[in-house]
Amino acid sequence: MTAVPRREIAPGYTISRVIKGGWQLAGGHGTVEHAAALSDMAAFVDAGITTFDCADIYTGVESLIGEFLRTRPERSVQVHTKCVPDLSLLGTLSAADLARTIDRSRARLGVDALDLVQFHWWDYTRGDCVAAARTLERFRQRGVLRHIGATNFGTVQLAALLDAGISVVSHQVQYSLLDRRPAAAMTALCERHGVALLCYGALAGGFLGERWLGASEPAEPLENRSLTKYKLVIDECGGWSRFQSLLALLHEIGKAHGTGIGAVAIRWVLDQRAVAAVIAGARNTAHLTDTLAALRIELTSDDRARIGAMLGGLTVPPGDVYELERDREGRHGRIMRYDLGVGR
């Protein structure tokens, strides 16, 4: 079995370079069977993928992972959750509100201290994200959370957190062959400050896979929110025909390495500057073997050159990290859910 490498993202704190994502366990991607979900978590950990990603807004996922943790008394699992205040609450968000969110996550997961809390802010014109982050920093100093991360921050706003002395150790961003927005200013900022990039969307919700090679362009409505979201990214990159050319190249490269499109796509992201880990949004173990294959293969200089030439013909989605998604009137923003009831 492929050994899963690890990366230290803070002194004494290491994570697996592939992280098991939890968003698909929150519903909207098919039925989630409770016992099977727990069994799948064990399979990932036994394979060496010991770091999990979840969020306060992923319905039921923190509690499900907490149940799993109780079966692992040796505490061999690292759990990254998120603190995502509702858009409507940003203007009045208080330290007490944040404390309730953190305490609720601790209770759901059944831990005294959260390993990593990834902080998100929907609209920088509302409230004060730096002040809120300072509150999280005080919680860290008190020991109720060990590390602070950001998720989907813009470059300017992440710099503001760092300049304010917030000990941000990681930043979760969307990063893939199709969405290379983090590759410029964000990567440079993170490298200067030692902030590790934790990347989701490496498989574009499943579009970067054999299922879609040679397939006709899908018509709306698509079968889940992930596909809806990432089809918009494909459109930004130049459309379905160019996407098919990319899939064909990845298939050819994967075949030469004895693997598939998904493994090549994940490997490419893992090889990018400042990237510590890729979050694999696996709802079950069906794709565990393919995910592990990404850790086995090594892209050759010729592979990288061919991929680079192909990417030169694809348009990078415009703007900074998560900028399209913040435009609530735009195509990307209209599908987002900004008020998920963190207080529930």
Cβ atoms within 10 A of the Cβ of 291, count?
A: 25
Pick the closest to residue 89 from 128, 118, 60, 138 (CA basis): 128
238 exposed, middle or buried (CB, 10 Å; 0-12, 13-18, 19+)?
Answer: middle
Phi and psi at 274, nearest 5°, equal 70, -5
Question: How many Å apart are CA 61 and CA 67, to the nearest integer?
Answer: 10
Cα 201 off chain centre by: 7
CA distance readout (Å), 253 to 68, 236, 256: 37, 24, 5
pLDDT at 1: 59
Contact 300, 23 (CB under 8 A): no
pLDDT at 342: 45
Question: From the first residue on, what is the mean pLDDT of each consecutive set of 10 residues in the chain (344 residues)?
Answer: 90 97 67 82 93 90 93 86 96 97 96 97 97 98 98 98 98 98 97 98 96 96 90 97 98 98 98 97 77 96 98 97 95 86 48
User: For the chain, how are helix, strand and coil distributed in percent, rounded to 5?
Assistant: 45, 15, 40
201 φψ region: left (φ > 0), alpha (ψ -120 to 50), beta (else): left
Question: How many Å apart are CA 86 and CA 337, to the nearest integer?
Answer: 9
Question: How many Å apart are CA 185 and CA 334, to the nearest integer?
Answer: 26
pLDDT at 30: 53
Contact 16, 51 (CB under 8 A): yes
Question: How many Å apart are CA 189 and CA 109, to the nearest integer?
Answer: 32
Range list of β-strands (E), the chain: 6-10, 13-16, 18-20, 51-53, 78-83, 114-119, 145-151, 168-174, 196-200, 275-280
Question: How many Å apart are CA 254 and CA 165, to the nearest integer?
Answer: 43
pLDDT at 236: 97
Residue 275 DSSP class: E
- Domain at 7-205+263-299, CATH from 3.50.50.60, 3.20.20.100, 3.40.710.10, 3.90.25.10: 3.20.20.100
CA distance readout (Å), 193 to 17, 46, 321: 20, 33, 17
Token duo for residue 14: 């290491």
Contact 314, 250 (CB under 8 A): no
pLDDT at 343: 43
> Is the four-CA dihedral 215, 235, 237, 124 of positive or negative sign?
negative
Q: Which amino acid is at 187?
A: T
What count of residues does the chain have?
344
